[in-house]
């Protein structure tokens, strides 16, 4: 039986999602917990890998259960064996041809910037900090140049292993909510560090150091070296993928 799980995690203390031979990863923790429930090894496939320090609101994974357990057993059993920073939100059977990565139609990220003169204390693990005032409206206007399918080489990490740099951004927005400036972006897929590099380039626009047109110029220029720096990982949260409704997954990961 193929099973899908929704997982949330605080990525601060992990070296990222992907299992590594050294250090703690979210995938490693999830597979270890599921293996305890199954009493034998379990491997999972995720909808999209996240980097060190990046959080997940509803990461989706699938695995082929080697033993029979009730969904409640997978849900509660796995969560009880996970560290406090990781929890399984839901578990449900899916069709055998469902694939957490390849069945996803898009992925969504949120980047949160605390914009005030004083750094964060309570929220320090989940935001980045910018002391200079940001104009969220300018940032939003600039970000609209990213909509559609483009070559995103200007926002691609040197270490990116993707076969090509073309991605399709379906929605992007920047808004201020009190002391926070929030960047949300949805695309069919993302390049390594793509969101953090976009945010790092939007910040000079928000500070008034670059014109609104700069983001479009960077996109057209395809030169990572002239774009902004990579924004800190702490502010980035993977909201989750979206799947077509026929897969029957929870509303938070299904296309409206």
Q: Which residues are marked as active site?
A: 51
The token duo for 110 is 């949120």
CB atoms inside a 10 Å sphere around CB 68: 8
Interior CA angle at 11 toward 19 and 109, to 5°?
Answer: 100
Other CB atoms within a 10 A radius of the CB of residue 102 amount to: 9
Cβ neighbours of residue 128 closer than 8 Å, sequence gap 6 or more: 111, 112, 113, 114, 199, 231, 232, 234, 235
Largest Cα separation within the chain, whole Å, is 59
For CA atoms 18, 21, 22, 23, give the dihedral sign. Answer: positive
């Amino acid at each position: 039986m193929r099973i899908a799980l929704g997982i949330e995690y605080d990525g601060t203390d992990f070296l990222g999602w992907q299992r590594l031979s050294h250090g703690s990863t979210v995938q490693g923790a999830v597979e270890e917990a599921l293996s305890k429930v199954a009493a034998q090894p379990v491997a999972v496939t995720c909808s999209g890998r996240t980097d060190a320090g990046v959080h997940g609101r509803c990461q989706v994974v699938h695995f082929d259960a080697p033993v029979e357990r009730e969904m409640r057993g997978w849900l509660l059993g796995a969560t009880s064996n996970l560290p406090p920073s990781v929890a399984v939100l839901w578990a449900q059977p899916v069709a055998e041809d469902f694939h957490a990565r390849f069945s996803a139609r898009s992925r969504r990220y949120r980047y949160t910037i605390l914009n005030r003169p004083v750094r964060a204390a309570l929220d320090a693990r989940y935001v980045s900090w910018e002391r200079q005032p940001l104009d969220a409206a300018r940032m939003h206007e600039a970000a609209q140049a990213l909509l559609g399918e483009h070559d995103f080489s200007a926002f691609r990490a040197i270490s990116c292993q993707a076969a090509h740099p073309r991605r399709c951004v379906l929605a992007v927005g920047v808004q201020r909510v009190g002391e926070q400036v929030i960047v949300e972006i949805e695309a069919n897929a993302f390049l390594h560090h793509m969101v953090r590099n976009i945010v790092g380039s939007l910040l000079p626009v928000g500070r008034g150091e670059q014109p609104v047109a700069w983001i479009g110029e960077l996109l057209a220029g395809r030169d990572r070296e002239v774009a902004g720096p990579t924004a800190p990982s702490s502010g980035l949260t993977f909201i989750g993928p979206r799947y077509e409704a026929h897969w029957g997954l929870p509303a938070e990961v299904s296309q409206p």
